[in-house]
C-alpha cells in the first residue's frame, strides 16, 4: 500500500481564523464575576465572530440567551429564541435582537413581548438600555398591573 505524501497548505478555502467549542469567558473584578459569556461554538473570521447557543450575563443583572449571534463593528446581531431577563421583574422574548456594545442597548425592529413587574407589553421597534433600564417602543398593546 502506497503511503500518502505530506503537502504543505499554501492557501485555505476556509475564512475561519479560529474555532472554539464550548467556550466560556469570565470578566472578574474586585467584587467577583461581573460579566460572563458561554457558547457551544465560536468561529473567528477576519472582521467578525459567530457564536452558537449563546448565554451571556451582563453586570450580574441581565441574562441574554440566543441560538446564534454574530459580532461585527461593535454590534451583536442575535437570532433564534431570544430571551433577555433582569431578575424576576423584566423578561423580553423575541426572534431577533441587535445589541450595541457602545450604547449598551438592545434594539428590536420587529414584534416583541416584554413582561415587566407583572405587566405585559407587546409591540414593535423596542429600544432597551441595559444600564439606565430605559425602555422605548412603538405600536404597543399593554396589560398593566398595579
Residue 3 backbone phi and psi in degrees, to 5:
-80, 140
Q: Quick check: pTM over 0.85?
A: no
CATH dotted code for 18-108: 2.60.450.10
Q: How far apart are CA 24 and CA 37, in angstroms?
A: 6
Return the DSSP state at 114: E
DSSP lists the bridge partners of residue 20 as 42
Cα–Cα distance list, 41 to 7, 15, 83, 140 (Å) = 29, 16, 19, 36
Q: What is the pLDDT along the chain (146 residues), one digit of tens a residue?
A: 566 565 454 444 458 888 999 999 999 888 888 889 999 999 999 899 999 999 999 988 899 999 999 999 999 999 999 999 988 788 888 888 999 999 999 999 888 888 888 889 898 888 999 999 898 988 888 888 77
Q: Where are the domains of the chain?
A: 18-108
Amino acid at each position: 500500500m502506497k503511503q500518502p505524501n505530506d503537502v504543505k497548505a499554501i492557501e485555505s478555502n476556509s475564512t475561519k481564523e479560529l474555532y472554539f467549542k464550548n467556550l466560556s469567558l469570565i470578566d472578574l473584578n474586585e467584587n467577583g464575576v461581573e460579566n460572563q459569556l458561554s457558547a457551544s461554538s465560536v468561529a473567528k473570521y477576519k472582521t467578525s465572530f459567530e457564536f452558537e447557543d449563546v448565554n451571556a450575563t451582563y453586570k450580574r443583572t441581565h441574562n441574554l440567551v440566543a441560538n446564534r449571534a454574530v459580532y461585527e463593528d461593535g454590534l451583536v446581531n442575535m437570532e433564534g429564541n431570544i430571551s433577555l431577563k433582569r431578575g424576576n421583574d423584566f423578561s423580553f422574548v423575541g426572534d431577533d435582537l441587535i445589541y450595541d456594545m457602545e450604547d449598551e442597548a438592545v434594539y428590536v425592529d420587529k414584534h416583541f413581548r416584554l413582561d415587566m413587574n407583572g405587566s405585559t407589553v407587546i409591540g414593535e421597534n423596542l429600544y432597551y438600555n441595559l444600564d439606565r433600564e430605559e425602555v422605548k417602543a412603538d405600536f404597543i398593546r399593554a396589560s398593566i398591573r398595579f
